[in-house]
Every structure is written in structure tokens, then in C-alpha cells.
Structure 1
């Protein structure tokens, strides 16, 4: 094993994907950075925790009793003491050298809280369609950023500055999973942090077939609407809501997502905190791209 890069660790969340997690951990174990790895098992019932203990005793395992969704990442961050934390899903893995490069960039740019990598879809190594949108981001950050400024990020392909992540509260437990990054990104921007895309970081993604597509769609619709009304000013919230509703195809799943969003309105109104102008400008800049996007839409 190479000498560990003490600046950066990895948090992997998983649920009932024992085979995929095994592949990811084997890939992470081979990295030249030899990062500390925390696995947060979100109450799997397929023997995942037992397999990690048996086959990957070098990883720090947190075997949860309930499925915390994205909040499992918060748990993992608290287990690490590294300055930077790379997130990894159980069906993604970081390319050799990318973690060191991310740490170098974050060292050199102390106002950057998140860097997001290029995503290659496996098998085949083709770019995920979202990469073009990250590369051509219309968001304007400060001059001299190491890559295009972003309004939000993709958790399974990003490295965060631990102090910024913790200060912003991490991923909100109310959102659980599905579009959970947008609220955290907004709060980081409101606090003055930058987020950017780095083309020379690479994450591989071989999508698992073990996924509840209907649940992800339902929660994604709900969370996108909740974020919109939690943080966007009224005119922007109305515009964005109109775009979201216009993209949805009628189905029981989309109806359930909308109903869940409506049921959460009392909480949203109590917690509503409109973004300061500099942070809202990032999301306003994304509006045209969001209308055109085919990479990330909740259609049903």
C-alpha cells in the first residue's frame, strides 16, 4: 500500500447492494492515495455489514439500524478527521490520482467548499450527459477559480471541505435522498463558499439495477419543490415551480411526489429563508439551462 494522503478520506453510503459495494471498496483499496474509508450501511438486509467486516476489515463500518438516506454521509463525515471528504456511492468509485488532485486544489483555493468530478458511465467509459452541463455551467464565480463555478453538485462525485460541510449542517434529514444536494449547495453559497467543476477529476459510475426508481422520482420531485420554496425569492420560486410542473408526466408516482411536497408546506413556510442576492444569482443563472436540460429532470 502507498502512504496514505492524510488530507482526504472517503465516505460511502450503501443499502442492499452488497456486490456493488464490494466492487467499489476493492477499487478504493487500490487507490494510490490509500484514503481512510468510512462505510455507512443504511440498514441493509442482504448481509452487507457482515460482508464488509469479513472482506474489508480495513474500512471503518457504521452499521445503521435505520435507513438514513443521504444523512448517512453526515455520519461518515463525523467519523473522519481529514480536511477533505470525498463522497462515493456504492456503485461509483474514484479514479487513481483524483483524490490527491482534489486535495491539492482545495489547499490552493481556501474559499472553495466543493469540487465535482467528471463522471464516466461504465461499462464503456462514456461521459454521463450531465458532464456537458457541468462543463458549460453559466454560473459566475470569482475570478481565478480552478474550474467552472456551479450552483449545485452531485454528491456521489464530489469532494467537500469538511469544515464548510459541517458548518452548513450537512445534508438535511427532512429531504432524505434525491436532489438533496441543492439545499446544501445554496446554504454553502449563502455563506460565501464557492463550488466548482474540475475536469481532471474522474469518478466511474456503473449504475446498480437495485434501485427503487419510483421512490427516487417521488422524493426528487418533492425535494426540488421544497428547496425552491425554502430558498428562492417569490418570483423565482413561481418560475421554477412552473418549469418543474411543466416537465412532469402525469402518473401515480409524480402525483405522490407533488402531494408529499404540498403536505410539507407548513414546514417549508416555517423554515423559509430567502437566499442573499449573491447566492440567488447562481440559481437564477441556471434557469435557462434547467429548462433545456435532458440530463436531470423528474419526468415520471
Structure 2
């Protein structure tokens, strides 16, 4: 019996989601779809055509933290994340389960993500494979402090312990803060090239400038939420200077400032050992 549930957060991409479900069905694993307030027919179509999938409608857009709802509903020891435009290779989840069994302090597996139609590895995977953190002797791959969410499998216990993806960030770039929190709690995250996820990027995407602003905003928020004050203030100052000539950077800084009350409530410093790892990665 499968010990991994696949959780998918989706919004207004029903055609891509249907393709993903078709790829996941042969795996015979539980699938939970969390709908982020779609205005298309995602929820009724999923419930009608795929009754074996548990479809949850949030009625609003919770961003990346929608996955937290799916993990809480899962009843397996492990949870794999897919996006509505990605799916898992046939043997990937079995391999992940075996690795979790053999490595009790392993909290997250960052898989190799193959991007289609080219069939090439995502550049982030190349970076993870050569991680400056190296590889501990009792882990199945290089240690990482970041990953691609649609190619990740987590130990459910560890995910719930650290609180999942932080809603302050919304989306994107939620993975790094999650990794920092896992490391702070004593859980290891590592890259495993033998576990493979496939990603066929959706054509339904927001403007590039909007995503760029969100990435810069969340880079700063992540620093504010966890790093020492000198690093947090230095990051803010660097973004402010960049904003003098870059309107996207200026907008990102303004958006981050609006979230400061939530940052103050949730801020806690990384343990020294994790801070050193973050500094090593630059």
C-alpha cells in the first residue's frame, strides 16, 4: 500500500491539471487537489471526472500555503508535491519512501526535475547537485537549503512540525524559508537525482515583471523573517539602492514593507549552525 500522498495546489489551470492527474493515476497513490479559488470549472470537473481524487475548494487564493491544507488532510507518512503542470516518474515515490525509511533524520527529498518539451534538467537541479554544503555520510545526497517544490517529497511529521509554507510569502520562493525552518528544527533536506519529477510549464502564467517583483519581495521577506539584523538591514538597503534605477525593485521593497507587521510577529533568528550554512551558500 502506498505510503505517499500527492498534494497539488491549483488555480485556473484545469486543462493542465487534467493532464497531470492522468500521469499520476497509474501510480496508485492518494491525490489531494487544493483549489486556490479558481474561477474556471476546476472543482466541478475534478469531482465529476476524477472522484478518486480528493478535491478541496478553499474559496480563496492562499498561494503556496494552500499546500499546507493538503498535507494536513493526508493520512500517509510522506507527501509529494506536484504542480498542476508537473507529475512524478513511475518509480520516484517508491524510491523516496525507501530513502526516508533508511535515513530517519531526512525530512525532505529534492528530486531531479526534468523540464519538457526539451527533456532537460532544471538549472536549479544542477546547482543542488553541486551544493557547497556537501554530503553527510548518513544522507542519500547533497544537503540543500532550497528546492523546487513541484519536485519534492516531505516527511509529513517534519512538515507539520515546522508549520509548512509560510503564508506571509504567498508565492513564489517559499521553498527557501521552509528549508531554513526544517534545518533549524534538526531535519535534513537533500538532493536525490534518482528520484525524478517531470515539469511541462503551463502556458497560463502571469506577467514576467509581476513574478520578478514577487521574487525580490520574498527574498527580502525571507531574510527579514530569519536572518540576523545586520543581514536583514543590509538586504533592505541593497534593494532600496537598486530601486533607484529599477522600478520592479522599488515595487518589491514597498510590497515587503506592507508585510512588516506580520514579519515582526513571526521573526525568529536562525540557529548559528544554520546561519553559517546560509552564509556559505551566499
TM range (shorter): over 0.9
**C-alpha displacement of 1:21:** 0.3
> 8 Å contact 2:239–2:249 — kept in the other structure?
no
Count of aligned pairs between the two proteins: 281
User: Partner of 1:44 in structure 2?
Assistant: 38
Cα deviation for residue 266 of structure 1 reads 3.9
Contact 2:108 2:189 in 1 (8 A): yes
Matches within 5 A, 1:55-204: 55-140=49-134, 142-204=136-198
Instruction: Write out per-residue CA displacement over residues 62-114 of structure 1, whole angstroms, 9 at most, x where no aligned residue.
Output: 02210111111011011111000000000111111000000110111110110
Unaligned runs of 5+ in 2: none
TM-score scaled to structure 1, two decimals? 0.88
Tell me if the contact between 2:145 and 2:180 (Cα under 8 Å) persists in the aligned partners.
yes
Give CA-to-partner distance per residue, 1:218-239, whole Å, 9 cap, x none. Answer: 2222111011121112344355
| CA deviation map 1:42-76 (0-9, x unaligned) | 11111111211122111010022101111110110
Task: Provide the aligned C-alpha RMSD in A.
Answer: 2.0
Q: Which residue of 1 aligns with 2:10?
A: 14
Per the TM alignment, residue 183 of structure 1 is displaced from its structure 2 partner at its CA by 1.6
The CA distance in 1 between the partners of 2:134 and 2:236, in whole Å, is 23
1:285-296 equivalence runs, <5 A: 285-287=280-282
- Say whether the 8 Å CA contact 1:228–1:241 is kept in structure 2: no
Matches within 5 A, 1:139-288: 139-140=133-134, 142-213=136-207, 214-238=209-233, 240=235, 250-287=245-282
Secondary structure at the aligned position of 1:215 is classed as helix
Aligned residues of 1:116 and 1:197 also touching (Cα < 8 A): yes
Q: Distance in 1 between matches of 2:244 and 2:193?
A: 34
Distance in 2 between the 1:276 and 1:25 partners? 40
Cα offset for 1:184? 1.6
How far is the alpha carbon of 1:11 from its aligned partner? 0.1
Which residues of structure 1 form unaligned runs of 5+? 288-300
CA contact (8 A) 2:240 2:253 kept: no
Q: Which moved more, 1:248-257 or 1:269-278?
A: 248-257
Structure 2 vs 1, CA of residues 247 and 104 (structure 1 numbering), >3 Å: closer, same or farther? farther
Aligned mates of 1:141, 1:155 — CA distance in 2: 21
Work out the CA distance in 2 between the residues paired with 1:26 and 1:115: 24
